[in-house]
Amino acid sequence: MPYSVGLQSAADAFLSAGIATQFTFGVVIFLVIVLVTSSLQADEADAPASLPCYSLSAILPFFTRRYDFLNWGFQATGQSIFQFQLLRNQVIVVSGESAREAFFTAKGLDLTEGFKILSGAIPMVRGVTSNLQPRRIAMIHKRLAAVQRNAPLNDLIPLILEDSRRIMSTWGTSGKFDPFENIYALLFQTTLRSLSCSEISDDPVIVDRLKTLYDTLDNGTTPATVLVPWLPTPAMIKKLWATKEIYGIVTNAIRAREESGVSHNDTLQMLLDGGDEKLVVVGFIMGLLIAGARATGTTASWLITFLGCHQEWRAKAVAEVESLLAIHASSSDKDSLSARLSTIRLEVWESETPVLDAIIKETTRVAQPHTAMRRNLGPPVYIDGKIVPTGAYVVYPFSDVHMDARLYPDPWAFNPAREEVKHTPFAYVGWGGGKTQCLGTRLAKVELKLIAAMFVLGFRHSTIDGTGNSTKPTPNWNDILLCRPPPEETGYISYERSDIPL
């Protein structure tokens, strides 16, 4: 009777184990049951091809090495559309010209729901940044548009330049730094300046604290925190703690403004003057800070990196900014660079900078590892003859178009002189496409241009490896946050201050 005795021993051992062990065992059994039942579900005739695996370990790379995982999925199924299960969630991955057009134009595919489930890096507070009523979402969009109107954006220009001057001045006259640390931190500061309030953006201690907390959210986004957010893993506990801290910082700033009775010309004041609900104000700042800083910070870090290893484009950028100063700056040459640049009007930055525009566009094409995520909240839709059921999640990797050698020859090469692809719909989706354009595009482009102008005129720089030799690092699309190059290709910025005072 050794078999029955073994079962009895196992049962006794389980019952004598601690609560934590029993809970973990229960979770594992739950996941196994979900995966097994999912694998037994038969696909409909018009359903996308399924990945040839159902184990949880096989889909973990969706979170850890997404670019490789999606490419493997297309190769393993031999199809341009495939599906897999994230526990009980059906995820459909699409590619190709017609699928891309359908993805960006289908009415039922919802951005907010797709990003919330599949990303998990936004601080989630019910009623503040998640589970929002449509009217609150519409109000947040309306306020973001108001921030980017001509007058507010013009007012932001000298503040962004002053933030840049102050931070760049701390770098000294020469040295080297990691652009994904220094440039990203600079963009985090300017995004705080643009989307929050002076109580936060004027205090370097609070700024550093917020950056650390948002980094905790990013680094704490694991497969477990996305798939089973109710499971109290160490990563989830850290995310909850960081979210609570961020919420506290934002609400304290709002309270300080209200109690002071002093009006400021910033985004918080606009929200308060508009009579918005407190939860809308808090959600606007908490959610948009990380959404803006992460994407724009990635672009800025790579933009400076690319200019450092493509000196011909650096020279073109320098010439363009010098021309702006010569024609449009109303201050004296004896003034600081930031003061002179701040006198250039918004419309000039937007309409008379073709070189910077081309550099920004090429950078977002090569080094923005976006995977667009949607959830079908409408009736079932068909994409390339394959059904997308109600409730299913749909994913479109930007690499499908931005790394397409038929549209962009030698696609990994940084070449801002590329001709615009006009014969293919949605050939460039760096700022979104169709009904889901990035709502903060105008602000992001102004930030990028101002910081690039300050840096290329205030410093001479090049991109080097760890031994000091020139290098051209390759963006790593598996790094879904910063596209940071792999360790063996790490690039640093070697710089020295120019003769122009910041």
Q: How far, CA to CA in Å, does 27 sit from each of 23, 24, 30, 235?
A: 6, 5, 5, 16
57, pLDDT greater than 80: no
Domain ranges of the chain: 134-497
DSSP symbols for 117-178: HHT--S---BTTTBS--HHHHHHHHHHHHHHTSHHHHHHHHHHHHHHHHHHHHTT-SEEEE-
Can you tell me the mean pLDDT for 125-151? Answer: 73
The counts of H helices and E strands in the chain are 22, 13
Let me know if domain 134-497 sits in CATH 3.40.50.1000.
Answer: no
Tens of pLDDT, residues 328-352? 998 777 789 999 999 999 999 999 9
Greater pLDDT, 405 or 285: 405
Tens of pLDDT, residues 228-280? 766 777 877 888 888 889 999 999 999 999 999 899 999 999 999 988 878 88
Percent of the chain clearing pLDDT 70 (strictly above):
84
Q: What is the pLDDT of residue 28?
A: 45
From the list 183, 60, 67, the residue with the least C-alpha distance to 479 is 67
d(CA 500, CA 502): 6
Q: Any known ligand binding at 438?
A: yes
CB 17 within 8 A of CB 23: no
